[in-house]
Every structure is written in structure tokens, then in C-alpha cells.
Amino acid sequence: MTKILLVEDHPELRDVVQRQIEWMGFTTITANNGKEGVVTAVAEKPDLILMNSIMPEMDGWEATRILRSHPKTKDIPILAATAMFRPADLKAWLDVGCDDYIVKPFTLDELSRKIRALIS
């Protein structure tokens, strides 16, 4: 079964998105911040990472840079989940190595399309 790592610091949002991902038929593992996300990704080797941007301890950009440079995680697709929607912000995600991004708030259909495109 496809395993998705959800890196999100807001517990309520993390729970909602986790339920949505599981409703799509995927297994989820979670991390509360970028630092925890890096450790979890290396240990669990998920099929996809859904990465938040602004988090305590380590933001999503730094976590993505580290994941892209690590031999165990460099090829895992990363989908950025961000509330920042300016073109420069979205380009910054792609520049650090994300494969795609989704802007919050997003619908279940949008999330499903993005995830399925990256894991197919």
C-alpha cells in the first residue's frame, strides 16, 4: 500500500488531511515539523511526502533541501502544501526541489489529483 508522510505542525489540520489521505486509500504517517519530517522520511521511506511550509524547528524549505540531498530520500516525490500563493513563493518550492505544490485551502479532489499524479 502507498505510504504518504504528512508533515504539518497544526494538529487539527494534520488530522483532517490525514483522514482525507486515508479516505483515498493510502497509509499515512505524520510528523509535526520539518526536522521530525526529515528523520521520519529517512526511517520510513514513504512513497510521497506532503510538506507544509512554515513550521517550528525547521521549515519545509530547509527540510526539502535536506531530503533532496540525502541518498535515501532524494527521489521521493514531495508535494508542498502552502498558504503562500504568490508566483515567487510557488517558484521557491520548485527551486528547493519539490515536485509540485498545492495551495491551502485545497479540496479533496485537488489533493487527490496532485497525489495520484506524483505517485503514478
State whether the Cα torsion 16-17-18-19 is positive or negative: positive
* Nine-digit cell string for 94: 520548485
Cα 89 from chain centroid (whole Å): 16
Is the pLDDT at 71 greater than 90? The verdict is: yes
Is the pLDDT at 14 greater than 90? The verdict is: yes
24 membership: H or E segment, kind and range = none
- Cis amide linkage into residue 105, ω under 30° from 0: yes
pLDDT in tens, 16-31: 999 999 999 999 999 9
* Nine-digit cell string for 29: 504517517
The predicted pLDDT at position 33 comes to 96
16 membership: H or E segment, kind and range = helix 11-23
pLDDT in tens, 95-116: 999 999 999 999 999 999 999 9
Please tell me the distance from the alpha carbon of residue 11 to that of residue 79, in angstroms, as a whole number. 19
